[in-house]
Amino acid sequence: MNDTNLRSDPGLALPAVVITGGTEGIGRALAEEFARDGHNLVLVARDKAKLDRTAAELASAYAIEVKVTAQDLTTVEGCAGVEQAVRGFGFYADVLVNNAGVMWGGFFQDADPAVMRRTIEELFGL
């Protein structure tokens, strides 16, 4: 069965907005907007406690279903885990907001080289 069949038979799966990095910043703001519009959500981040807190807040404020999956998207296993979780929740990804990422504030030349190296090693599995 392919994803097109899932969309054409609502008995098989429900649409959801999948938001990576959905617990804070832009991802959280977008989760709020989609929730306000009545979309079911699947939030993805590394921190399970933040995910659970965000899901509880959104689910209580809006009449939607909010599911979470704690995944490290810098790994192949984490990316596969998102797909497995979405399917396991009985959803399909109607919309994907691919917002997970790493950010520093300030000027590049002022960044701590050790922090930059550690981040790059984590991101690329070095």
User: Tens of pLDDT along 81-121?
Assistant: 999 999 999 999 999 999 987 666 778 888 888 888 877 77
Average pLDDT of the segment spanning 69-79: 91
CA dist., res. 113 & res. 75, Å (int): 23
Please determine, for residue 52, whether its predicted confidence score (pLDDT) is greater than 90. Answer: yes
CA dist., res. 20 & res. 46, Å (int): 10
Strand residue runs (E) in 1-126 = 14-20, 41-45, 66-70, 91-98
pLDDT band at 38 (very low <50, low <70, confident <90, very high): very high
pLDDT band at 5 (very low <50, low <70, confident <90, very high): very low
CA dist., res. 124 & res. 78, Å (int): 14
Nearest to 25 by CA among 87, 103, 89, 82: 103
| Structural domains of the chain in order of their starting residue, each with its CATH number | 3-124 (3.40.50.720)
Task: Please state which of the ranges 5-14, 22-31, 88-97 shows the lowest mean pLDDT.
Answer: 5-14
CA dist., res. 112 & res. 106, Å (int): 11
pLDDT band at 2 (very low <50, low <70, confident <90, very high): very low
